[in-house]
Amino acid sequence: MAESANVTSVEVLDRFRSRMIVYQDKATITMDEVSDTIKRVRLWLQHDQPAFWKGQIRRIEKQLEEAEAALFSSRLSASREPSAHEQMQVQKLRRKLREAEDKLRVVKQWSRNFDSRVEPLAKKLEGVNYLLATDVPKGIAFLAQAAKALHAYAGSKASVSEESVPQTRDGDAWEAEEASGENNPNEDTGGAP
């Protein structure tokens, strides 16, 4: 004996299918945003940040040269002693230069390691993208076909039960049929009993 399904509401399938479509749309948008973010971070690390820190280093080196020149000229001048402010300014700029150079080294290191760290995670995202592009649409199509089949089944069952219910007839038409012998099961039609 074949197993039977206990379907109580085809509308639930339709709602679930609608929610799967919304999920697919939102998930696809999110996956696109993640891919775009990975590209932007790669570009930021490989181009924007190195250019920024190289510019910072050039600017600080120029300021340091000016501060060292002012300190050197004050030492050469017999009229005055170099001020503590000038000496502190030179030390401060040297420290800033070292920090900027360290940051440039770190950015270059991050840039070299970015692909090796991000690629394994990006591969996992490709699996999700594949799922969204192939399996989810197949599921949506299956749900649509199942709902259509169930609607057709429910419609055919309703038409069968409508056919099995005797039609109500006008009293005069019923009496006329009985008098003429139509549809009378007790009447002998010449066949065997």
* Residue-by-residue pLDDT tens, the chain, 193 positions: 457 666 677 888 889 999 999 999 999 999 999 999 999 999 999 999 999 999 999 999 999 999 998 888 877 776 667 678 888 999 999 999 999 999 999 999 999 999 999 999 888 889 899 999 999 999 999 999 988 988 888 776 655 444 444 444 444 444 444 444 544 444 444 444 4
pLDDT of amino acid 18: 94
pLDDT of amino acid 65: 94
Considering the entire predicted model, what is its pTM? Answer: 0.60
Write a three-state SS string for the chain.
CCCCCCCCCHHHHHHHHHHHHHHHHHHHHHHHHHHHHHHHHHHHHHHHHHHHHHHHHHHHHHHHHHHHHHHHHHHHCCCCCCCHHHHHHHHHHHHHHHHHHHHHHHHHHHHHHHHHHHHHHHHHHHHHHHHHHHHHHHHHHHHHHHHHHHHHHHHHHHHHHHHHCCCCCCHHHHHHHHHHCCCCCCCCCCCCC
pLDDT of amino acid 171: 44
